[in-house]
């Protein structure tokens, strides 16, 4: 009986810990620009790729991404690279090479990120003096982008500002930004670090 009671207590403890572990955070996710660049970067036009096929140097090539988003690989021809990650392009090449090479081992490395400036941007819209779209740079914050937009207009409602961030599966998550406190009081609690694709919206006052 004592063993049964101990087992029930342990099970209840595990259930409570599991529930606590899934409590959603009220803060924006931490920005990890390095992880974004390595894992999530989408290849763009003019990026330079190094395609390496193990034990097959004749099939290995360094190529730029053409305006149509494709690269040409020996033996298999054109392969779509634009909008894909390095891992996705490598998988496509590997599948196509299977018709000619036994168990091909393919690696695709980005050697020059020439399109990064155009693909990885942050934007600010709404009641700012000059709505802008800016190339992302590590360390960029909400305040940096708002100042680049010339600040807010006299019709803005800055403490109702929202930061929209992609959350996967085409969805986005909104985070409240107390922009008035940032600009007027120097309260940087919601001066969040940004990541590529973020959109900041400053609404107008309602009269």
Q: What is the pTM of this model?
A: 0.49
Residue predicted with more confidence, 187 or 40: 187
Report the pLDDT value the prediction gives residue 30, as an integer from 0 to 100: 53
Q: Determine the pLDDT at residue 170.
A: 57
Comparing CA positions, the residue from 157, 150, 161 lying closest to residue 191 is 161
Q: 153-192 burial by CB neighbour count: b if 16+ within 10 A, else e?
A: eeebbbbbbebbbeeeeeeeeebebbbbbbbeeeeeebbb
Categorize the per-residue pLDDT at 1 as very low, low, confident or very high, splitting at 50, 70 and 90.
low
Nearest Cα to Cα of residue 156 among 124, 110, 185, 187 = 124
pLDDT at 27: 57
191 vs 207, higher pLDDT: 191
What is the pLDDT at residue 169?
58
Domains and CATH numbers, the chain: 34-117 (3.30.1950.10), 120-202 (3.10.560.10)
Q: Per-residue pLDDT tens for 16-56?
A: 344 333 333 345 545 554 444 445 678 888 889 999 999 99
Quick check: 206 pLDDT over 90?
no
In this prediction, residues 124-151 reach a mean pLDDT of 92
Residue 10 has pLDDT above 80, yes or no: no
């Amino acid at each position: 009986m004592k063993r049964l009671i101990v087992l029930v207590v342990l099970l209840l403890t595990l259930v409570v810990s599991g529930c606590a572990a899934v409590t959603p955070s009220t803060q924006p996710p931490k920005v990890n620009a390095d992880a974004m660049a390595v894992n999530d970067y989408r290849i763009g036009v003019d990026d330079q790729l190094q395609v390496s096929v193990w034990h097959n140097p004749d099939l290995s090539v360094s190529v730029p991404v053409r305006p149509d988003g494709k690269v040409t690989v020996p033996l298999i021809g054109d392969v779509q690279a634009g909008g894909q990650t390095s891992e996705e392009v490598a998988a496509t090449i590997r599948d196509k090479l299977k018709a000619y090479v036994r168990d091909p081992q393919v690696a695709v490395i980005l050697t020059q990120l020439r399109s990064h400036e155009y693909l990885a941007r942050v934007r600010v819209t709404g009641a700012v003096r000059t709505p802008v779209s800016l190339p992302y740079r590590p360390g960029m914050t909400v305040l940096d982008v708002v100042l680049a937009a010339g600040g807010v207009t006299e019709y803005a409602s800055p403490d109702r500002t929202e930061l929209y961030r992609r959350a996967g599966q085409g969805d986005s998550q909104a985070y409240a930004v107390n922009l008035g406190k940032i600009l007027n009081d120097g309260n940087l609690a919601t001066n969040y670090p940004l990541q590529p694709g973020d959109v900041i919206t400053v609404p107008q006052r309602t009269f």
